[in-house]
Chain A
């Protein structure tokens, strides 16, 4: 079992009447000594076998099969797994029912079946999720993960059906979503990944797929505990304005709050590995105290298996000393900037898509400036494929006339990736 620790970064000093407490909470896990007590894993791979996968002379479907084979080979011995082929319906292709336990024989059999798959039909992603849910639901004691690959939009069912399928899957498994090529919908995949505590990314071409599948499954192998939650107690009259994961990427957990009691909420964090570190930005409004008072803004606990362990305190101290109350905490400022960066990219790309070049130039210019200031070099590099940068310091940019669709999509899906404090110029 992993052990969890936390560090709080905040300026606890508030001016008289101040009621807003900001804190960055870094949660770290350390591998427990007793690795035998780690929970088992269930991996359900969902691979798109719709007719569009036959485009490019079959290169996509060949790459998808090869990448799925790599994923199967990457699974650690003993991990339970199943393979779903997705079209306008979902079919469990391996094993015929239930789950298989990874060993040499089951891997070979699974790869043989994957090799024989043929791409045909439409795309109804809600049906894929529902079948995956039904498999995951039989193994509630395991760490449950899916890798979902699609190359297209959800064409053969309504948005309502997809949303209902997502809602029915919440809590049953985590899902990392990958889009192949440029014909899939970023917002659709983000909807799934956000709800199911996973990531979204673009796989630009068939040649990039094997490495990405291997990377994802290798990450899953390292998970040690499922269904971890951050539990926040805040005082009577308090209002949690937001709790966002801000590293490794931005994910607003606020709407995922599950009330434990009148003053306590759980925020699901999904599964954790033994050597992970994630940052969270909490903003809580609390009733203002008198100058000189000290109050808790929040007591941060880690909830696991119905047990909650306190890991950090977020404090508030009211003072008339402006030198103290106006101090800007570095971590809070940094992640506020990273969130603004993600918003600027998102808004800039939306304006660009709707033909509003002035807004797009302004927003993407601001994004370049923020990415430069905070040392987010990946974002700088991705932005440079969409805009020509005249001066990163002032955010002076020009929209590029020719932009590869894959580059715009990569910028969009990766806009929420953050860097940690200290990488800035």
Chain B
């Protein structure tokens, strides 16, 4: 016997639909609840609107801490300690000879930017995981254009601050003892290659600070003190005039570690040296997921002022056949 959660009708155990009111009995099943994250009160104490009835703690929303683990590569996206929702999104996927990674950071000053970042990630990863190795750069450009189309589709009403996000896409394919790495980006989410005692930043932020550095009219201290320093100059979204990502193709000797992250992490490790020391601090045996979780925890321990997304992939030479 199954009881319809909508009308209370007793339905046969094998019924899919309530005969009385037509409710889909499978769809109406409540999502599973977990014990309170704070006081460990049993799941029954957690209300449907997500509060613990014992200690009052708001239970995390599903997107507050998202994890995908594939063994040698993994991604973690976390709400952080300050923002009330996670507007970052990210995805990782295996390719026949490597890995594809996308990280998008919803611009927090704009409305409902998680719609932008989530749609962009979903669109881009679908295009990139199967893209041919010879045309990865063009695939990234096309994926960004498709993501823009998707974002415009969900931007339901015209607003002064439409949903928007950064984008960094990395495809790393193993060819013998080398990795062919192609990076495309818009905004200030970053990719690093960590190997041989150093971290190399593969991206260059599209930000006011970097633009000023290029102009060379202001000294670095003045630039960093300016409240516009972190304003991004390129992005995906209805108010973006150019969504063609900046592209870079590089080759690295293997093995090496690919790290892709939003500024929620690199704000606490801004230089390549900082990032290198942070990434290797967990030792050489650290699993990809453990490493990503540790970097997220580090950002949270530093204040977690923004959403934090970190992808980690270990790339090794192809075994000689």
Residues of A within 8 A of B (CB): 233-238, 263, 286-287, 289-297, 299, 313, 315-317, 319-321
In the complex, are the beta carbons of A292 and B57 less than 8 A apart? no
CB distance from A228 to the nearest CB of B (A): 24
* B304→A292 contact, CB < 8 A: yes
B 55-77 contacts with A by CB, 8 A: 55-58
Contact assessment for A235 and B82 in the assembled complex, using a CB-CB cutoff below 8 Å: no
Docked-complex contact A319 and B82, CB < 8 angstroms = yes
Q: Which chain B positions have C-beta within 8 A of A235? A: 52, 54-57
Q: How far is the CA of A297 from the CA of B58 in the complex (A)?
A: 11
A235-B56, A297-B56, A320-B303 known; A289 vs B82 contact (CB < 8 Å)? no
With most chain A CB atoms within 10 A of its CB, the pick from B55, B84, B303 is: B55
A237-B56 Cα distance, complex, nearest whole Å: 10
Assuming the contacts A236-B39, A320-B303, asked whether A292 and B56 have C-beta atoms less than 8 A apart, the reply is no
Q: Which residues of A contact B57 (CB under 8 A)?
A: 235, 289, 293-296
Determine the chain A residues whose CB is within 8 A of the CB of B304 once the complex forms: 291-292
Q: How far is the CA of A156 from the CA of B58 in the complex (A)?
A: 58
Residue picked from B39, B56, B57, B304, most chain A C-beta under 10 Å? B56
Q: Which residue in chain A gives the minimum CB-CB distance to B47?
A: A299
Given A234-B56, A235-B55, answer yes or no on A293-B82 (Cβ-Cβ < 8 Å). no
Question: Whole-angstrom distance from the CB of A408 to the nearest CB of chain B?
Answer: 46
Question: What is the bound-complex CA distance between A292 and B37, given in angstroms?
Answer: 13
B82, A292: Cβ atoms under 8 Å? yes
Residues of chain B with a CB closer than 8 A to A321's CB: 82
Contacts of A296 in B (CB 8 A): 51, 56-58
User: Is B110 an interface residue when CB atoms closer than 8 A count as contact?
Assistant: no
Closest to A313 in B: B51
Report B-chain residues with C-beta under 8 Å of the C-beta of A320: 81-82, 303
Q: Which of A292, A297, A299, A316 contacts B81 (CB 8 A)?
A: A292
**B38 proximal to A (CB < 8 A):** yes
> Is the CB–CB distance between B58 and A295 below 8 Å?
yes
CA distance A293 to B300 in the complex (A): 12
Is B237 engaged at the interface, CB distance under 8 Å to the other chain? no
Q: A236-B54, A296-B56, A297-B56 are in contact. Are A289 and B300 (CB under 8 A)?
A: no
Residue pairs across A and B with Cβ atoms less than 8 A apart, 17 shown, are A235-B52, A235-B57, A236-B54, A237-B55, A263-B53, A287-B55, A289-B38, A291-B303, A292-B81, A292-B300, A293-B38, A294-B57, A294-B58, A296-B57, A316-B56, A319-B82, A320-B81
Q: Is B184 on the interface with A (CB-CB < 8 A)?
A: no
Question: 4 tightest A-B contacts by CB?
Answer: A292-B81, A235-B56, A296-B56, A294-B58
Q: Give bound CA distance, A242 to B303, whole Å.
A: 33
- A237–B38 Cα distance when bound, in Å, is 14
CB distance from A72 to the nearest CB of B (A): 50
A319 to B80, CA, bound (A): 11
Q: How far is the CA of A316 from the CA of B38 in the complex (A)?
A: 14
Binding site secondary structure of chain B: loop
Give every chain A residue within 8 A of B55 (Cβ-Cβ).
Answer: 235-237, 287, 295
A315 to B304, CA, bound (A): 21
What 0/1 pattern do residues 23 to 39 of B give for CB contact below 8 A with A? 00000000000000011
Q: How far is the CA of A313 from the CA of B81 in the complex (A)?
A: 21
Q: Which chain B residues lie closer than 8 Å to A286 at the CB level?
A: 56
Within 8 A of A (CB), among B62-104: 80-82, 84
Most chain-B Cβ atoms within 10 A of its Cβ — which of A237, A289, A296?
A: A296
With a CB–CB cut-off of 8 A, which chain B residues contact A294?
57-58, 84
For B291-315 the 0/1 string (1 means CB < 8 A from A) is 0000000001001100000000000
- Given contacts A296-B57, A296-B58, 6 further A-B pairs with CB under 8 A are A235-B52, A292-B82, A296-B56, A297-B56, A315-B58, A321-B82
Q: Which residues of A contact B303 (CB under 8 A)?
A: 291, 320
Complex: how many Å from CA A297 to CA B82?
19
In the assembled complex, the Cα of A234 lies from the Cα of B58 at a distance in Å of 13
Residues of A within 8 A of B84 (CB): 294, 317
A291 x B81 contact (CB < 8 A) = yes
Q: How far is the CA of A287 from the CA of B303 in the complex (A)?
A: 21
Shortest distance in angstroms between A233's beta carbon and chain B's nearest beta carbon?
A: 8
Determine whether the beta carbon of A295 is less than 8 Å from that of B56.
Answer: yes
Which chain B residues border A319 with CB–CB below 8 Å? Answer: 82
Return chain B residues, CB-CB under 8 Å to A292. 80-82, 300, 304
Contacts of B53 in A (CB 8 A): 233, 263
Q: Give residues of chain B (246-303) contacting chain A, Cβ–Cβ below 8 Å.
A: 300, 303
| Closest chain B residue, CB of each to CB of A295 | B56
Q: How far is the CB of B183 from chain A (nearest CB, A)?
A: 31
CB distance from B44 to the nearest CB of A (A): 15
- Nearest B residue to A293 via CB reads B57
Specify the chain A residue showing the minimal Cβ separation from B39.
Answer: A236
CB neighbours of B82 from chain A (8 A): 292, 319-321
| Minimum distance in angstroms from A115 CB to a CB of chain B | 60
A290 CA to B58 CA in the complex, in Å? Answer: 12
Name A298's closest neighbour in chain B (CB-CB): B56
A286–B51 alpha-carbon span in the complex (Å)? 15
The closest CB in chain A to the CB of B37 belongs to A293
* Docked pose: A236 CA to B53 CA in angstroms: 9
Q: Which residue of B lies closest to A317 (CB)?
A: B84
Q: How far is the CA of A299 from the CA of B58 in the complex (A)?
A: 12
User: In the assembled complex, which residues on chain B have CB atoms less than 8 Å from the CB atom of A233?
Assistant: 53
Residues on B with beta carbons closer than 8 Å to the beta carbon of A299: 51
Min C-beta distance of A6 to chain B, whole Å: 16
- Determine the residue in chain A with the shortest Cβ distance to B304: A292
B80: chain A residues at CB < 8 Å are 292
